[in-house]
Chains A and B, each alone.
Chain A
């Protein structure tokens, strides 16, 4: 009896071991499949950008390039050197930086301030203010194009980088406020009370006490805003043209307006160049991103 029982336990043990092993392998298999699926476009882009046009015409999408040929990258970045009609990314790349840095800074700062007021200096009707700000998150880009164009015209900053900074700052405030408000709501209000008794005022409490503990949510907001603003095409193409355009608009012009043969290698190189800054931001700050997104849920 005892032996029989033991034997059957052995059997069950083996069975569960095999089931577990199978499931594990299946899991890895699925994960690898997904990884390949996601990495495939990037592979095609990189490989294509390193090929000559000759190679592209003769090979398939997947063929390996004959060598490391960065010519198309140079063309995408600096052009071919002849005058009219030569579009290349370099000036627009810096345009985008001139736009994205102040826009991210101002929208983050204003969002932090608003979040601080909405949580720590409650006033009558503050929930309504927050609710209306939230509406801002749900208003589609297209809906604000006309009023914004008019505003920029009145202010005399249409077709300028300053104008784009303003647009992105205003459009970003609902999102940044939401982030900071949700973060600050988990910070004990007793901190503010203690600081008030210690004699600190509105701004001192913000700069000396709340801002120094806001690193995680600042990172989240900066990544979010940077990606949004850098990748924006609609505002850029609507409110700017020619020399003031940001990189996404220039990329579009480059790829779509070429009159001669389609240069896939240059197109691919340009697309990668336009995407690199956001990638760098993610790599540098990515680990804070998840931490910041979840930190609101855990009591600080």
Chain B
């Protein structure tokens, strides 16, 4: 039994297709992050799970029960919004128990829930305050509390940290993570922030143009992106995608960048399908953090490039190299001195590369 199962879901607003044939499953207790650029349909998908938007095609199942036409309040879900959406005229207590009162839960049960949750979230001292008298972090906590008292099967978070300042965002991120570890409730969490997605999710579904590009663990998303969109979207700066061709000869496979004659041996690469590789146009993907200044692995490939640009960030520096007129970014500790416009020896960690078909942009 899957806690949440979405099958063949499509949604359009008028003639605009927002979601296209979405299939998604979440196991009990998992933390699924919907990640993507703005306008990719992730918030619409969350609203559909909540029942706040109608569906054009497909179904949503919660605990194997088709809830596609069920009212939001009867779906056994709770939602936390970006703007907190606390009712301005009610104090914290009224805000938190509003849902339970609507559901006609008994007074004793309401009090019990309120006390448990408010103590758990450390808002028990704030119960009589109005939302306008709370700080951003406190509001966020109350909003989570309002969701918690309902004891839902699934928590839905719609960019809950986007309104907080940078420092508080990191703190609240940790709190949400702790919360999930303690409660083990299933979560669907929408964000456009990849750090948030990577640190919180047990699974990440990356979306673009209403389609799920990859749904996988954070490790696989980072190490084995399934197409160039994912490769480019995750990581900062994003993965270098060097255009070139494959060359296969007598059991040896290598990559040659456009305009270059250096053959980079990629025998160790784990191809999805090992046929028709010769002369295939590909993107050679390597993350800036996998390019080194000193040789660290036996298999590292040494290459000589010239640096064009240096960006100092404090704990690290990002250098831009020119590889036959293609930009290659590399990340180094800021203690290393690299001179611009001079030949520099670099080492590519070939165990960490990704290869993509240049035409389909899919991983090969």
Contact = CB atoms under 8 A, between A and B. Distances in A.
Interface of A: 188, 190-191, 193-200, 204, 208-209, 212-213, 300
B251 interface: no
Contacts, number: 59
Interface string B73-94: 1000111011101011100000
B103 interface: yes
A191 B87 contact: yes
Contact of A188 (B47, B78, B79, B85): B85
Contacts of B52: 193, 196-197
Contact of B72 (A188, A196, A212): A196
SS class of chain A's interface: helix, strand, loop or mixed? helix
Interface in B43-62: 47, 50-52
Contacts of B146: 194, 198
A194 B72 CA distance: 10
Contacts of B87: 191, 194-195, 208-209
Interface residues of B, number: 23
B102 interface: yes
B73 A209 contact: no
B81 A198 contact: no
Given A190-B81, A193-B79, A198 B89 contact: no
B99 interface: yes
A197 B98 contact: no
A200 B85 contact: no
Counting from the closest, the 4 A-B pairs by CB-CB distance are A212-B89, A199-B102, A198-B99, A199-B73
Contact of B88 (A196, A200, A300): A300
Contact of B98 (A188, A193, A200, A212): A200
Nearest to A197: B72
13 contacts: A188-B85, A190-B82, A190-B83, A191-B87, A191-B88, A193-B79, A193-B81, A194-B85, A196-B52, A197-B99, A199-B73, A213-B89, A300-B88
Interface string B271-307: 0000000000000000000000000000000000000
Contacts of B72: 193, 196-197
Contacts of B99: 197-199
A213 B47 CA distance: 25
Give the interface centre of A188, A197, A198, A199 by most chain B CB atoms within 10 Å.
A197
Contacts of A194: 79, 81, 85, 87, 146
A213 B130 CA distance: 12
